[in-house]
Amino acid sequence: MSANHTITLTEREKARLFLVAALDSVEDWKLLIESWPELTAQTFAAAANSDGYTALHLAAGKGVLELIPGKTDAQLLLRTRTNNGITALHCAIEAGFIETIASGVTAAQLAASVLPDGASALRAVVELDQMHLVRGGVTFAALASDVDEWGVSAVHIAAQRRRLDKIPGAATAAQLSAVRDLGGYSALQEAAAFRVLDQVRGGVTAHMLHADRAHDRYTALRTAADYCSLHQIKGGIPADLRSAVNWDRALRARLADRALSTTEIEALLKAGANIQLIDRFIRARWADVQGCEHKKAKFLVVARELSKAAHQAECELVLEPTLSAELL
């Protein structure tokens, strides 16, 4: 149930509080306050249904905490919980209303508001890109120690949401590599998968990625190849790591889903992918589009990008004479 209260309400009073909390009408709030002078946030917290869900939970989720007389601080929102532990603070945070909380909310308070699955309000702040609104700021250590039942940390979430650069001071490759879920997958792996290696403080080298391995031996370097973040690697792929990843497989994947980018294809070719894969791809697609001017025009755009990538990677494409003429 909710936190202990000395306020006793009738069922009619509870219903009235729930009704007004659901509204964003200033006039309805004025009428309520005029007729109920002793009304406070604690009064809303005392109005709970059989599940422990209170009028304060509803007001927090609707973003109308500022309309409640007096201050509704984070500590009261944190104490006000449903039967299964959902806090009124969580309702405010997940709905994006962190700014309605009087005197703000700290990272520790956010981390203390945890759902049954282990997800905290701090994670919600990361997902909603509101870390800058947390009183006192958010540290890397706070995010790293905030984990759910699968061991996924708030740092993993920051990488997935492409917000590593929003962590004060940012994070180094070593810090990200040290934060792992139950499968041994690090936040550095997530950074590679979501193409935010360029947000890592100090940059990330291929050797750093190759040394980062999950329990199944899957390396962060392979993740970078599979998810096209090779071009973000500091210093490129050195010769001693050319055989560390199946670059051809990564290139085939890019060609198969048409996710073509000059920088990505160039990076794969420089890492060691076989230029003949692009040769065969272009020949097959060129044959397919014959007889359809619309498809041919679209493919020529792709062919130019591939040709440009090959040239920048200092690889030579062997093109059909008719295609070469079209590309001139």
What is the model's pLDDT at position 264?
Answer: 86
Taking only the tens place, the pLDDT of each residue in 152-197 is: 999 999 999 999 999 988 899 999 999 999 999 999 999 999 999 9
Judged against a pLDDT cut of 80, whether residue 205 lies above it is answered with yes
Q: Give residue 2's pLDDT band: very low, low, confident or very high (50, 70, 90).
A: very low
Q: Is residue 164 part of a domain?
A: no
pTM: predicted TM-score of the whole model, two decimal places:
0.81
Q: Is residue 144 part of a domain?
A: no
Q: Is residue 258 part of a domain?
A: no
Taking only the tens place, the pLDDT of each residue in 223-241 is: 999 888 998 999 999 999 9
Taking only the tens place, the pLDDT of each residue in 255-281 is: 887 667 788 899 999 999 999 999 999
What is the model's pLDDT at position 261?
Answer: 79
Q: Give residue 1's pLDDT band: very low, low, confident or very high (50, 70, 90).
A: very low
List CB contacts of 84: < 8 A, sequence separation 6 or more. Answer: 51, 52, 116
Q: Is residue 248 part of a domain?
A: no
Q: Is residue 135 part of a domain?
A: no
Judged against a pLDDT cut of 60, whether residue 303 lies above it is answered with yes
Kindly report the CATH number assigned to the domain that includes residue 20.
1.25.40.20
DSSP symbol at 33: H
What is the model's pLDDT at position 262?
Answer: 83
Query: What domain count does the chain have?
Result: 1
List beta partners, residue 48.
54
Domain hosting residue 28, numbered range? 1-104
Q: Is residue 36 part of a domain?
A: yes
Q: Is residue 13 part of a domain?
A: yes
Q: H helices within the chain, ranges in order?
A: 11-21, 26-35, 41-46, 55-62, 74-79, 88-94, 107-112, 121-127, 140-145, 154-160, 173-178, 187-193, 206-211, 220-226, 247-256, 262-271, 275-288, 293-312, 321-327
What is the model's pLDDT at position 27?
Answer: 83
- φ, ψ (nearest 5 deg) of residue 120: -100, 170
Q: Is residue 247 part of a domain?
A: no
